[in-house]
Amino acid sequence: METNNIFSFRRFGKYLVSDLKRCIANFGLSFLVISLTGLVCYLLVGVISYVSGAGWVSSNALARSLYLWIAFAILVVAMPNKCYGFITDRKLGSNWLMLPVSTVEKFLSMLINCLVIIPSAFFLCSFAIDWLITALDPQLHSTIIGSGMELFDVIVAKAAEESEVNALLTNFITENNIIFSAIDDSMILILAFLLGAILFKSQKATKTILAWFGIGTLLSIILTPVAIMFVGNYDLAVNALNSGDIEAVTTFAQDFISSAMKFDTIFDVTLLLGMEAAIFMRLKTIKH
Amino acid sequence: MVSINDLGFSYGNKLVLKNITMTLEEGRIYGLLGENGVGKTTLLSILCGLKKPSAGSVLTDGRKPFDREPALLTEQYYLSDDNASVHMKAVEYAKNYGKFWEKFEISKFLELMEIFETDPQQMMDRMSTGQLKKTYICFALACNTRYLYMDEPTNGLDIPSKAQFRKALAKYTREDSVVLISTHQVRDLENIIDPIIILDRQDVLLNATLQEISEKLYFDYSSEVKEGALYSELIPGGCIQVFNNTTGQESKVSIEALFNTAHKHKELIKNVFSK
């Protein structure tokens, strides 16, 4: 039977499992430690406050969500390098390149592991630990997720009470927007560190951060005029504000948010696709 | 079949391979010899697709190795001189990665590990260099590939393992396979490799079978020193001398003496074997 050189479901399935096993072997222990960061921070705060005589102080949902984001930031920086940084190593990388699996399959498996499986497992573990902490600690009444939703509702209600403009603006910012934006931005960051892991031979995370700042500065210089064009006419807004025409301000604000969100989506999708293309090309052309 | 046409490769401005043209045919175990730095490992890396030629072309069964297509990758294995030590038992490694080579046989891997007296349950990152090398040799042979490229396979092997390697290579390679072994340890592989390829700086000095070599060169093992030898060397109990074979007399080829002769008379050897 003719071998499919681009994609075969059977081969991909086998490779995905084998690749995930390798990721677990390389990153499993670190993953466990990172996933337990929230619990460790919670215990640390409690123990320190207890020892200092203030009694047991339980970290509230806001503090615990901060621990969660710190842990996630560590995961984003460490995971791509631990899972795929070996590709630039001559010995390990050569073995990997010579594996009879197509570049498309290796690339897709890399994306699935780094963008879906490992982050999902991390959030699942973290939320489960948070749920457990909340269930066992009588001082706590709400999990991170529960508190986040409550907080969102409070902000929206408060904004609506304050002014008509605020109420209109909050209509654009839904829970879905926030979740989508967080996922989107996280994916971009993971891909950036993944690209750094397979591009640089040493000091991968540091070089990635430096390159990120460098490219970010360059992009902001290039894209600021484009963004202004996209977002709308400031003069109209200033005139509307000066004249005290609430309707005109509201219209401008609606247009502004809608355009800004469109621009952000286009920019993020372009960035995602660009980085994916760069990762694929690197895998296709890497030499040892 | 592997066709190499006008192959060129350079590291930056440093030219390593230039105008290399040769064909590697099926059913043969080629010995690739050359001084340090002539580009033996580079040539192997290009043949297996780890490097891209700077000029010319390499085609294996009509495919470019650098495209790294599964159809070709499943038919080839590259055994590097420097093997990766992974945190895995040898048998787990074989099971986990062997399944990607269509003709891989785990039973053959275990059989070979037994021949090489290496424990398949041992963690690879706790193995000695020799044990790790033997594990990778077993894996390479168990893949049953048509193209097998080996870079210094006997480096780091103890004396019994070298004999086991020769036996395993003769017994476990497919009849239609092309095996290319780069080595400095010619005595380890004396009775295995045929044809011989001698690579020089940016050139191929010789690519011939032992039969062709013995037709063109005469290897004299007598104790009497004769005149007109291209190369002579004292060995215990006599000397070895290499002559142009003008009488058509047959002799046993000493690969080490052949290499030294080629090294000493590059142009002459190139001319003799290019005819």
Q: What is the mean pLDDT of residues A277-282?
A: 98
Position B242 confidence tier, pLDDT thresholds 50, 70, 90:
very high
Over residues B153-188, the pLDDT tens digits come to 999 999 999 999 999 999 999 899 999 999 998 888
DSSP H stretches of helix in B99-219 = 106-115, 129-142, 159-172, 210-216
Position B203 confidence tier, pLDDT thresholds 50, 70, 90:
confident
Q: Mention every residue, 6+ apart, whose C-beta is less than 8 A from residue A123.
A: none
The domains of chain A are located at 12-285
As a whole-number percent, the residues of chain B with pLDDT over 70 amount to 100
Indicate the pTM of the whole model.
0.90
Shared domain for B259 and B158, answered yes or no, is: no
Distance CA B162, CA B164 (A): 5
Nearest CA in chain A to B80: A91
Contact B84 A15 (CB under 8 A): no
Position A231 confidence tier, pLDDT thresholds 50, 70, 90:
low
Contact B50 A288 (CB under 8 A): yes
DSSP character for B205?
A: E
**pLDDT for position A164:** 66
Shared domain for B213 and B144, answered yes or no, is: no
Chain A residue numbers with beta carbons less than 8 Å from the beta carbon of B102 are 3, 100
Local structure of B152: helix, strand or coil: coil
Domain endpoint, select from B205, B228, B246 = B205
Tell me the CA distances in angstroms from A110 to A20, A107, A198, B156, one per residue in order: 9, 5, 11, 35
DSSP character for B246?
A: -
Q: Mention every residue, 6+ apart, whose C-beta is less than 8 A from residue B173.
A: B29, B141, B148, B179
Domain endpoint, select from B180, B205, B230 = B205
> Above 90 in pLDDT, residue A207?
yes
Contact A98 B78 (CB under 8 A): yes
Kindly compute the dihedral angle of the four CA atoms of residues A172, A174, A176, A178, in this order, to the nearest 10 degrees: 90
> Above 80 in pLDDT, residue A174?
no
What domain count does chain B have? Answer: 2
Chain B residue numbers with beta carbons less than 8 Å from the beta carbon of A11 are 70, 100
Give the strand pairing for B28-34 and B76-79.
unpaired
Over residues A13-33, the pLDDT tens digits come to 999 999 999 999 999 999 999
Domain endpoint, select from B186, B205, B224 = B205
| Minimum distance, in Å, between the CA of residue B18 and any CA atom of chain A | 19
User: Which H or E element spans position B256?
Assistant: helix B255-264
Chain B positions with Cβ closer than 8 Å to A:
45, 48-52, 68-71, 73-74, 76-78, 80, 82-84, 86-88, 96-97, 99-102
Shared domain for B44 and B87, answered yes or no, is: yes
Shared domain for B189 and B220, answered yes or no, is: no
Q: Mention every residue, 6+ apart, whose C-beta is less than 8 A from residue B137.
A: B79, B112, B116, B150, B153, B165, B168
Position A223 confidence tier, pLDDT thresholds 50, 70, 90:
confident
Shared domain for B250 and B150, answered yes or no, is: no
Shared domain for B33 and B109, answered yes or no, is: yes
Range of the domain at B101: 2-205
B192: CATH: 3.40.50.300
Over residues B42-71, the pLDDT tens digits come to 999 999 999 999 999 999 999 999 999 999
As a whole-number percent, the residues of chain A with pLDDT over 70 amount to 92
Position A228 confidence tier, pLDDT thresholds 50, 70, 90:
confident
Local structure of B53: helix, strand or coil: coil
Instruction: Write the ipTM.
Output: 0.91
| Minimum distance, in Å, between the CA of residue A157 and any CA atom of chain B | 55
Shared domain for B90 and B146, answered yes or no, is: yes
Contact A94 B73 (CB under 8 A): no
Q: What is the mean pLDDT of residues B252-257?
A: 94
For CA atoms B155, B157, B159, B165, the dihedral sign is negative
Given A3, A15, A103, which is nearest B74 (Cβ)? A3
As a whole-number percent, the residues of chain A with pLDDT over 90 amount to 66
Position A229 confidence tier, pLDDT thresholds 50, 70, 90:
confident
Could you tell me if B171 and B135 are in contact, meaning their C-beta atoms sit under 8 angstroms apart?
no
Shared domain for B265 and B148, answered yes or no, is: no
Shared domain for B122 and B251, answered yes or no, is: no
User: Which H or E element spans position B148?
Assistant: strand B147-151
Distance CA B184, CA B31 (A): 10
Chain A positions with Cβ closer than 8 Å to B:
2-5, 8, 11, 14-15, 18, 21-22, 25, 89-92, 94-95, 97-103, 285, 287-288
Q: Which of B122, B116, B140 is nearest to B85 (CA)?
A: B122
Does the N-terminal peptide bond of residue B195 adopt cis geometry, omega within 30 degrees of 0?
yes
Could you tell me if A114 and A106 are in contact, meaning their C-beta atoms sit under 8 angstroms apart?
no
Could you tell me if B90 and B119 are in contact, meaning their C-beta atoms sit under 8 angstroms apart?
yes
Shared domain for B49 and B142, answered yes or no, is: yes
The 3-state secondary structure of chain A, one letter per residue: CCCCCCCCHHHHHHHHHHHHHHHHHHHHHHHHHHHCHHHHHHHHHHHHHHHCCCCCCCCCHHHHHHHHHHHHHHHHHHHHHHHHHHHHCHHHHHHHHCCCCCHHHHHHHHHHHHHHHHHHHHHHHHHHHHHHHHHHCCCCCCCHHHHHHHHHHHHHHHHHHHCHHHHHHHHHCCHHHHHHHHHHHHHHHHHHHHHHHHHCCCCHHHHHHHHHHHHHHHHHHHHHHHHHHHHCCHHHHHHHHHHCCHHHHHHHHHHHHHHHHHHHHHHHHHHHHHHHHHHHHHHHHCCC
Shared domain for B32 and B149, answered yes or no, is: yes
**Angle of helix A246-285 versus helix A103-111 axis, rounded to 10:** 140
Contact B80 A8 (CB under 8 A): no
Contact B82 A90 (CB under 8 A): yes
Query: How far does chain B reach from its first CA to its final CA, in angstroms?
Result: 22
For CA atoms A87, A93, A99, A102, the dihedral sign is positive
Q: What is the mean pLDDT of residues A94-103?
A: 97
Shared domain for B117 and B13, answered yes or no, is: yes
Distance CA A122, CA A116 (A): 10
